[in-house]
Chain A
Amino acid sequence: MSSQEIPEENLPEEQGAAHDAVDKAHADPFADPGLPAHRPRIQDLDERAAKRSERTVATMFLLSMLATVGFIASYVIFPVDKIVFIFPFGHVSALNFSLGLTLGLALFLIGAGAVHWARTLMSDVEVADERHPIEATPEVKAKVLADFADGARESALGRRKLIRNTMFGALALVPLSGVVLLRDLGPLPEKKLRKTLWAKGKQLVNMNTMEPLRPEDVVVGSLTFAMPEGLEEHDEDFQTQIAKAALMIIRIEPDDIKDKREREWAHEGIVAFSKICTHVGCPISLYEQQTHHVLCPCHQSTFDLSDGARVIFGPAGHPLPQLRIGVNSEGNLEALGDFEEPVGPAFWERG
C-alpha cells in the first residue's frame, strides 16, 4: 500500500515542465508567458510625485513624534482617576483614553509612513529567485549515511550490547525522579470530595444576615443562601469549604413536593439543596418562584426543586444533593447530617 505503488500516470504533470519548452509556446495556448513587464508608477516617472510621497512619509513621521510628545504630556497632565465624557464612548478615563490614542497614533504613523515609503518610493520591480529542493542530493545523503555508519561503528554501540542496554536503562529511569518530585503537588483525593462541613446539629446560617436561620424566616417564593455555623469569611479555607457547603433554601407547600424523600428530608416544606451544580460546579442562582425550577447560569442546567431537584434540561447528569434538615431546641434550622452523596460535579469514584 506504500505510495510507490501508484502508477506514475496518476500523478499530474510536473509543474514547470511546460516552462522548459519555451519553443512550444506557440503550440500551447496555456504556456507561461513569463513575468509581465514592470509597469512604472507615477513616482518612477515624475520626480515631483516622488517628492510629494517623500513629504507625505516625512509628515507621518513628524506627526508620530508629536503624538509621542502628546503621550508624555497626557501622562503628566491627567490624574489617574479623572473620568470624562467623550462622545460616543461615554464616561471614560481621561488618562487611558489620551495615552492610548497618542500611543496608538505614534505607532500607527510610523507604520503608515514606512509602508507608504515602501509602496511609492522603493523599487517595486518583481524579481524571481530560484528554489532548490529541500531534500539533499544523493551524494550528500550518501556521505551523511557513511559518516553516521562510521560514527556508530566507532562508538561500538551496536557491538557492546551491555553498554547500550544499561545506558538505555539508566536514561529511562532517571526521569522518574522528576515524576516523583511532582507527588507533593497535592494530596490524594481519598474521601475529600464526599465530605462537606455539614454535620448533625450544625445550624444553617443565613449568608445575608450571618444569623442562624429560623423556619419563619423562610417564606414560600423566597430563595435563601446558607452556610454551616462556625464557618467564617476570614477563615483560611473559607473558599474551599464554601465551594462544597453552599446551600439553597426554599419553601414549598408540602403538598406541592412531588418527591417522597424530599418531603421527608424537609422541615415543614423548607428544603435545603446543594447550591453547587452537578454538571461542572457553578453555583446555581436563578430561581423561578412559580415552578420551583432553578437554573445554573453557566451552562443552563435546570433542576426541579419540587421533584427531588431532578434535571429537566441541560447538561447536568444527576439531581442536586439534598441536605436533611430539622429544627433544634432553640427553634433554629439545623442539619441532620452531611449530604448523603458528594456535592458538585460527578467523578470516577463517585459511584
Chain B
Amino acid sequence: MSTATNTPGAAAPGNRKAPAGERVADWADGRLGIYSLAKSNMRKIFPDHWSFMLGEICLYSFIIIILTGVYLTLFFHPSMNEVVYHGPYEPMQGIRMSEAYASTLDISFDVRGGLLVRQIHHWAAVIFLAGMFVHMFRVFFTGAYRKPREINWLFGFLLFVLGMFTGFTGYSLPDDLLSGTGVRFTQGAILSMPVVGTYISMFLFGGEFPGGDIIARFYSIHILLLPGIMLGLVVGHLILVFYHKHTQFAGPGKTNNNVVGMPLLPVYMAKAGGFFFLVFGFIAIIAAIASINPIWALGPYRPDQVSTGAQPDWYMGFAEGFVRVMPGWEINLWGHTLVLGVLIPLVLFGVILGLLALWPFIESWITGDKREHHILDKPRNAPTRTALGVAWVTIYFVMLIGGGNDIWATHFSLSLNSISWFVRVAFFVGPVVAFVVTRRICLGLQRRDKEKVLHGRESGLIKRLPHGEFVEVHEPLSPEMLHTLTAHEQYKPLEIGPTVDENGVERKVSRLTKARARLSKSLYGEGSQIAKPTAEEYKEITSGHGHH
C-alpha cells in the first residue's frame, strides 16, 4: 500500500528521527513547557560553601521522615482500645495496653526491619530539627534573611516551629509511659490558659484526660495536617531559593549583582543528589547501632504511673526548661485562678521564638535599608546582630539545662535545687554576658581584619635592623584578600538632626523615630563597629615608610 498519507510531521523535508529521550522531552514540552523551565534552571549557578549544605540536611531528613513514615503507617494502629499483649516480647506478656502501644511493639519485634524503619524515622526527626536550628542560625549570623529573603525566613521559621509540634505529636503516638507523661504535661499547660483552657482541653481530648481519642487525633495531625502544611512550606522555601538565587560570601569577582559558582547540571545534581544518599546512609547506620526511644523498656501509659528521668526529645527541652524553673505563682481572685507558674512559661516560649521570626523586620526598620542583599555578612561585621543571636542561643541552651535539671543532678551529683536556681539567674544574666562578650569578640576580629589590611599578614620572620632593633616582617595581602576584607558595608547611625531649625521653629519628631535613632546608634554608632580601613589610610601606610 503506497498511497501517500501526508501526515504533516513525517512529510516535513529534511526531518531526522530525534533520539528517544529528545522525543519524550518534546512530548512533555508540548504539554508542560519544560524547555522554558529548564532554560533558566538547568544550568543555574550555585555558590559553594560548607554552610550552604545545612539546609540540604534538613530537606533530606524531611524526605526520609516522609518515606519511613508512610511505611510505619502500614503497621501502626492509632487506637486507644485496650488489649492484652500476647506477642513475642516476653516482658510485656499479659500486660494491658492500648492498641497503639501494642502495634508499636509489633513494629519493633514482629515486623522484619520494622525496628530499623522506626529508628530511622525517629533519628531523622531529631536530626531534622537540629539541622533546622543550625541552618536557621547560619542564615541569621550571615544576614542572609535580609531583603528579598524575609518571607523565606518566615517559611523556614514556620517549618522549625511546625517541626517541633510534628515531632511532639509523633513521639506521643506509641502511647508509652514516657510520651503519655508528655501529653499529660501538655494538657496541664493547656489548662493554665485563662478562660479557654478547660474548653480547649476538653475539645482536644474529647473529654477528660486522657479519654480515648487523643492518639487518633494526634495521628491525623501528625501524618496529615502538619506534614501537609510543612510540605507546602518546603516547596515554597525551595522555589524562593531558586527564584532569589543563592547568597554568597564576599570575595574576588563576587558582587551583589552576580552569583558565582558551579552549575546545577551536572555538579550540584551530583553533589546534592549524592548528599541525599550520604544523609540517608548516615542515618540508617545510626539507626543500626544506636537505639532511640525504646518504648518496650518504658511500658504502656498509665496516668497514675511515671518513671524518673522523664525527658522530651531535645527540641522540646527548651519549653520544658521554662516549665521546670518557673516559680509556682498562682493568683486566686474572684473565684478564678490565674496559673502564672505555667502560663508565663507558655507565653515566654511563644515570645522568645517569635522574636526570631520578627528580627528581619525589626532590623530593616532600624536601618531603613530597602535594597536587596545577596552578599553575606561575616558575623563579625555585624557585631550587634551577632551578639543578639548569641544571646538568644544562650537563653535557648540555659533552658535546655533547665529542662534536664534532673539529668544534670543525677549525672554530676549536683543539687537539683541549685541547678534550678542557676538556670533562673542565668536566664537573666546569661544573655547579657553573652551579648557583651560576643560583641567585644566581633569588634576585636574587626580590628584584626583592619590591622591585616593596613599592615599585612604577620609572616613569622623576625628581622634585625642595622641599629639592633628586631621587627617582624609583615607581608602585604593579595588584592583578593584586600578586597574580601573590605567588601562589607558599614551603616551610619540614623541622625535625627536638630529638632529646632534656625528660625526657632520646632520640628516634630515622633517617639518612634527617636526610638529608632537610639536603636540605630546602638547598632551602628560609635563603639558598635570598627570603621573599616579607607583607601587613603592604606596608601599612606604603604607608600610612606613601608613596613614599620
> Which A positions have Cβ atoms within 8 angstroms of B?
1, 3, 5-7, 9-16, 19, 27-36, 75, 80-81, 89, 92-93, 95-101, 103-115, 117-119, 122-131, 133-134, 182, 185-189, 192-193, 207, 225, 227, 233-234, 236, 239-240, 242-244, 246, 275-276, 279-283, 285-286, 297-301, 311, 313-318, 344-351
14 A-B pairs whose Cβ atoms sit less than 8 Å apart in the complex: A1-B512, A32-B253, A80-B88, A89-B289, A96-B115, A98-B288, A103-B116, A104-B284, A106-B281, A186-B202, A186-B205, A297-B306, A313-B417, A347-B191
- Of A12, A95, A346, the most chain B CB neighbours within 10 A belong to A346
Counting CB contacts under 8 A, is B232 at the interface?
Answer: no
Partner of B305, one of A13, A283, A344: A283
Counting CB contacts under 8 A, is B422 at the interface?
Answer: no
Contact B289 A100 (CB under 8 A): yes
Counting CB contacts under 8 A, is B273 at the interface?
Answer: yes
Interface string of B330-355 (1 = CB under 8 A from A): 10100111111110000000000000
Contact B332 A351 (CB under 8 A): yes
Which residues in window 94-134 of B have CB below 8 A to A?
96, 109-113, 115-116, 119-120
Contact B256 A16 (CB under 8 A): yes
Counting CB contacts under 8 A, is B258 at the interface?
Answer: yes
Contact A108 B282 (CB under 8 A): yes
Counting CB contacts under 8 A, is B539 at the interface?
Answer: yes
Interface string of B206-222 (1 = CB under 8 A from A): 11111111000000000
Which residues in window 248-292 of B have CB below 8 A to A?
252-263, 266-268, 270-271, 273-289
- Cβ distance A106 to chain B, nearest Cβ, rounded Å: 7
Closest to B206 in A: A186
Partner of B303, one of A100, A115, A242: A242
Q: CA separation between A189 and B191, bound complex, in Å?
A: 11
Closest to A299 in B: B324
Counting CB contacts under 8 A, is B73 at the interface?
Answer: no
B371: which A residues are within 8 A, CB to CB?
11, 14
Q: CA separation between A149 and B270, bound complex, in Å?
A: 48
Q: Which 4 A-B pairs have the closest CB atoms?
A: A100-B288, A280-B188, A108-B281, A114-B274
Counting CB contacts under 8 A, is B438 at the interface?
Answer: no
A122: which B residues are within 8 A, CB to CB?
266-267, 270
Counting CB contacts under 8 A, is B244 at the interface?
Answer: yes
13 new A-B contacts, CB < 8 A, other than A28-B535, A106-B281, A317-B339, are A6-B368, A12-B491, A80-B109, A95-B115, A99-B112, A104-B281, A104-B282, A104-B285, A108-B277, A129-B44, A182-B203, A243-B209, A297-B310
Contact A127 B324 (CB under 8 A): no
Partner of A281, one of B184, B252, B261, B365: B184
Partner of B184, one of A111, A280, A285: A280
Q: CA separation between A15 and B365, bound complex, in Å?
A: 20
Counting CB contacts under 8 A, is B185 at the interface?
Answer: yes
- Cβ distance A117 to chain B, nearest Cβ, rounded Å: 6
Closest to A349 in B: B198
Contact B274 A283 (CB under 8 A): no
- Cβ distance A255 to chain B, nearest Cβ, rounded Å: 28
Q: CA separation between A104 and B116, bound complex, in Å?
A: 11
Counting CB contacts under 8 A, is B23 at the interface?
Answer: no
Contact A11 B491 (CB under 8 A): yes
Q: CA separation between A282 and B211, bound complex, in Å?
A: 16
> Which B positions have Cβ atoms within 8 angstroms of A?
44-45, 48, 82, 88, 96, 109-113, 115-116, 119-120, 148, 181, 184-185, 187-189, 191-199, 201-213, 243-245, 252-263, 266-268, 270-271, 273-289, 301-310, 323-330, 332, 335-342, 365, 368-372, 374-375, 405-406, 416-417, 420, 453, 479-480, 482-483, 486-487, 489-495, 510, 512-513, 516, 533, 535, 538-539, 542
Q: CA separation between A168 and B50, bound complex, in Å?
A: 51
Contact A118 B416 (CB under 8 A): no
Closest to A351 in B: B335
Q: CA separation between A341 and B396, bound complex, in Å?
A: 37
A283: which B residues are within 8 A, CB to CB?
303-306
Closest to B113 in A: A99
Q: CA separation between A31 and B338, bound complex, in Å?
A: 63
| Known A104-B281, A122-B266; contact A243-B181, beta-carbon cutoff 8 A | no
Closest to A35 in B: B253
B283: which A residues are within 8 A, CB to CB?
104
Closest to A67 in B: B281
| Known A279-B341, A282-B181, A347-B192; contact A111-B281, beta-carbon cutoff 8 A | yes
- Of A103, A113, A115, the most chain B CB neighbours within 10 A belong to A103
- Cβ distance A348 to chain B, nearest Cβ, rounded Å: 5
Q: CA separation between A207 and B302, bound complex, in Å?
A: 13
Q: CA separation between A56 and B493, bound complex, in Å?
A: 56
Contact B304 A133 (CB under 8 A): no
- Cβ distance B241 to chain A, nearest Cβ, rounded Å: 13
Partner of B323, one of A115, A129, A275, A299: A299
Contact A107 B308 (CB under 8 A): no
Partner of A348, one of B194, B211, B276, B309: B194
Q: CA separation between A193 and B199, bound complex, in Å?
A: 11
Q: CA separation between A119 and B490, bound complex, in Å?
A: 36
Q: CA separation between A276 and B209, bound complex, in Å?
A: 12
Partner of A129, one of B198, B258, B324: B258
Closest to B280 in A: A107
Closest to B341 in A: A317
Contact A279 B342 (CB under 8 A): yes
Contact B277 A114 (CB under 8 A): yes
Q: CA separation between A242 and B208, bound complex, in Å?
A: 11
Contact A100 B284 (CB under 8 A): yes
Partner of B274, one of A11, A118, A286, A299: A118
Contact A118 B271 (CB under 8 A): yes
Q: CA separation between A275 and B328, bound complex, in Å?
A: 18
Q: CA separation between A214 and B338, bound complex, in Å?
A: 40
B259: which A residues are within 8 A, CB to CB?
128-129, 131
Contact A9 B113 (CB under 8 A): no
A89: which B residues are within 8 A, CB to CB?
289
B245: which A residues are within 8 A, CB to CB?
129, 131
Contact A12 B489 (CB under 8 A): yes
Contact B277 A107 (CB under 8 A): yes
Q: CA separation between A232 and B256, bound complex, in Å?
A: 72
Contact B274 A348 (CB under 8 A): no
B307: which A residues are within 8 A, CB to CB?
297
Contact B323 A315 (CB under 8 A): yes
Partner of A36, one of B184, B204, B253: B253
Q: CA separation between A98 and B270, bound complex, in Å?
A: 28
B483: which A residues are within 8 A, CB to CB?
30-33
B495: which A residues are within 8 A, CB to CB?
7, 10
Partner of A349, one of B187, B282, B305, B336: B336
Contact B260 A128 (CB under 8 A): yes
A95: which B residues are within 8 A, CB to CB?
112-113, 115-116
- Cβ distance B532 to chain A, nearest Cβ, rounded Å: 9
Contact B277 A111 (CB under 8 A): yes
Contact A240 B208 (CB under 8 A): yes
Q: CA separation between A108 and B277, bound complex, in Å?
A: 5
B88: which A residues are within 8 A, CB to CB?
80-81
| Known A15-B489, A186-B206, A225-B304; contact A34-B482, beta-carbon cutoff 8 A | no
Closest to A296 in B: B306
Q: CA separation between A27 and B538, bound complex, in Å?
A: 11
A14: which B residues are within 8 A, CB to CB?
256, 371
Contact A315 B513 (CB under 8 A): no
Contact B256 A131 (CB under 8 A): yes
Contact A285 B306 (CB under 8 A): yes
| Known A300-B420, A315-B341; contact A281-B187, beta-carbon cutoff 8 A | yes
- Cβ distance A219 to chain B, nearest Cβ, rounded Å: 22
Partner of A186, one of B203, B406, B492: B203
Q: CA separation between A182 and B243, bound complex, in Å?
A: 40
Contact B192 A193 (CB under 8 A): no
Contact A300 B260 (CB under 8 A): no
